[in-house]
Amino acid sequence: MESNFVITKSKKEIESSNLKGPIDTPFSWSDVLYQTIAKNAGSLNISHEALDVHIGTEVEEKTAIKFIGKTWPKDPSDVKDITYAELLHDTKILSQSLSRLGLSKGDVLFSLSPRLPQSYLMALATLRSGAVYSPLFSVFGPGPIQARMNKGKAKALFTLASLYHKKIDSIRAELTTLTYLIILDDDGSAKDIPNHIDFNELLSEDYIESNEVITTADDLALLHFTSGTTGVPKGAMHVHAAVVYHNLTGKWALDFKRDDIFWCTADPGWVTGTSYGIISPLCNGVTLIIDEAEFNARRWYEILQNFKVTNWYSAPTAMRMLMKAGEELPREYDLSSIRFASSVGEPLNPEVIWWAKKNLGISLHDNWWQTETGGIIISNFSSMEIKPGSMGKPLPGIEVELVSLNEKGFEFVKGPDTEGQIVIKKGWPSMFRGYLGETERYLKCFKDDWYLSGDLAKKAQQGYYWFVGRLDDVIKSSGHLIGPFELESLLMEHPAVLEAAVIGIPDKMVGEIVKAFIVLKKDYKGDERLRLDILSFARVHLGASIAPREISFIDNLPKTRSGKIMRRLLKARELGTPEGDTSMLEIT
């Protein structure tokens, strides 16, 4: 819901921002891409831009990765530092080993691994070898893994011995294109895996400089699968040119500084965990935190304090989990090292932003993008005042408009506080180049020179964009088009509500009525009295025409691993209709 309040910035914050001037200054991404290619004599490779550019500079001996193992802080020694020089050395050797195996330009290597340095190294080496890197969530079951690997015609798979036995062994015979199985023996069980290649042996070879593979800006580099409503998820294809966008948008949207200790909490199986969890921070020469353990509120505060994190990128779901842990816990820690904090995945509710400001002492900067865009498109920059609930403004060189679709095509929606579908003018380097094997589906994403995002937003007078919801999530009731995000944000202002999701339920009289699913804060009981109180609260603040008519209290909202609320899943379960693809569902 649009807020009349702002979180103001100090003069020092504004002056130190990487993006100080007007963001609508003329800027050409094609010019930047051309200059980068010219600098590299016609070639372009993501791994080179992330590592080689730092050799001979002060970054070379700097820590690139600080890995925090599961047993920390009980075992203080379970922390490992890897310098940029060391990371480049191992990347070169592993890349060469992949080529010697027979992995060629365009072949797809899938990675099924938790947050370990070896999985980050494999990503960089795969890209350097000219092969295509496709990450998988380590929580996937055998079915989703098989579907993605078969659709992607997997040539190679990197995984852990423990994960192989749990998830791959039962489907290996069905992975008909899989030629190279690379195993990191994490538990001593690799000896039981037939026809595998030992990861550590690949790192023991001698390096020969002349064996480097040359890639171009238009060579396929990344294959990210994004969840679909039905059937197998779509495979969004990205090229090496994307690195130009990852590099600069890290500076502008995430405000990277060379001395940053950066912690992106996203899993590497998600596009954020690759674009801004590996590529962008390394391009910018920052130190990257990797935490092996799963979420624990106290551990997170300990990491932020003890490793003096200066730049923090997380998800609204994680922030709400910190809220659930209470206001007392963060008071035990010194979080003053955090210079810049941002969030992505599901739009940030204003209540979360105010809570973080009050209890963590940080200003949370929301941003908006998609798997298909490959990088951040709209952002709250460091130099901007934050309007809680807003996505921010488009990045330089990005042309965003709002449109309404009709039988003739679409028309641009103009004027303050107008609502429409977000469309983006083609031409930014990280734009996806296709859905794997689905050309017609890809072409339907574009109208003339505009990419149709499928997300609805409003634009305020000051140029700020406000998320409304997915086209598929919009509720149509009594002639009103109701965006779920505004309703959910309002519900979260009730003192008992931790999280909320709303859906439309078919109704013969009004088309759809609004039903809310609510997760309560601790110490609140979901009884009839509280249900009526929340319904009354919503009607007072929203009006009877769009306020929820029904409420169900639930323990957890279904979300993807990236933190997006799966409203369609709530609706399918409510109506007893097919649930569609649930492979990206977070396990809680």
pLDDT tens per residue, range 104-136: 999 999 999 999 999 999 999 999 999 999 999
Average model confidence (pLDDT) across the chain: 89
Asked if the model's pLDDT at residue 316 lies above 60, the reply is yes
- The terminus-to-terminus CA distance of the chain in angstroms comes to 28
Per mean pLDDT, which range of 147-161, 185-199, 206-220 is the poorest? 206-220
Q: Is 489 helix (H, G, I), strand (E, B) or coil?
A: helix
H or E element: which one contains 150? helix 142-151
Per mean pLDDT, which range of 72-76, 107-111, 344-348 is the poorest? 344-348
CB atoms within 10 A of CB 208: 11
Per mean pLDDT, which range of 257-261, 497-501, 502-506 is the poorest? 502-506
Q: Is 473 helix (H, G, I), strand (E, B) or coil?
A: helix
Per mean pLDDT, which range of 40-49, 152-161, 452-461 is the poorest? 452-461
When pLDDT is cut at 50, 70 and 90, the band that residue 268 belongs to is: confident
Give pLDDT, residue 269.
86
pLDDT tens per residue, range 144-175: 888 899 999 999 999 999 999 999 999 999 99
Give pLDDT, residue 229.
47
Stretch 22-40: mean pLDDT, rounded? 83
| DSSP codes joined into one string, 255-301 | ---TT-EEEE-S-TTSHHHHIIIIIHHHHTTPEEEEE-SPP-HHHHH
342 within 8 A of 315, measured Cβ to Cβ? no
Give pLDDT, residue 23.
63
Asked if the model's pLDDT at residue 486 lies above 90, the reply is no
Look at the block and give the residue holding tokens 């149509």: 476
When pLDDT is cut at 50, 70 and 90, the band that residue 358 belongs to is: very high
Read off the DSSP letter of residue 203.
Answer: T
When pLDDT is cut at 50, 70 and 90, the band that residue 576 belongs to is: confident
Q: In this structure, what are the phi and psi dihedrals at residue 166, rounded to the nearest 5 degrees?
A: -80, -35
Give pLDDT, residue 588.
38
| DSSP codes joined into one string, 108-136 | EEEEE--S-HHHHHHHHHHHHHTPEEEEE
Q: Is 214 helix (H, G, I), strand (E, B) or coil?
A: coil
Give pLDDT, residue 407.
65
Helices 84-101 and 117-129, packing angle to 10 deg: 60
For residue 531 the two structure tokens come to: 């249900």
| The Cα angle at residue 300 between residues 297 and 306, in degrees rounded to 5 | 140
Report pTM.
0.85
Q: How many helices (H) and strands (E) does the chain have?
A: 18, 28
Per mean pLDDT, which range of 66-80, 322-336, 487-501 is the poorest? 487-501
CB atoms within 10 A of CB 502: 30
E strands present in 16-131: 63-68, 79-83, 108-112
d(CA 444, CA 466): 25
Q: Is 355 helix (H, G, I), strand (E, B) or coil?
A: helix
Stretch 352-371: mean pLDDT, rounded? 94
Nearest to 554 by CA among 516, 583, 586: 516
d(CA 32, CA 348): 31
d(CA 565, CA 492): 15
Stated length of the chain: 588
When pLDDT is cut at 50, 70 and 90, the band that residue 504 belongs to is: confident
Give pLDDT, residue 1.
44
363 within 8 A of 386, measured Cβ to Cβ? yes
* Percent over 90 (pLDDT), the chain: 66
Q: In this structure, what are the phi and psi dihedrals at residue 571, rounded to the nearest 5 degrees?
A: -70, -40
Give pLDDT, residue 230.
47
What residues form DSSP beta bridges with 446? 451
pLDDT tens per residue, range 521-545: 988 999 999 999 999 998 887 777 6
**Distances in whole angstroms, Cα of residue 484 to Cα of each of 44, 278, 454, 455, 517:** 42, 32, 14, 12, 12
* CA atoms within 13 A of residue 110's CA, in its CB half-sphere: 30
Give the contacts of 384 (CB within 8 A, at least 6 positions apart).
Answer: 9, 392, 393
Task: Compute and round to an integer the Cα radius of gyration of the chain.
Answer: 24
Stretch 246-266: mean pLDDT, rounded? 96
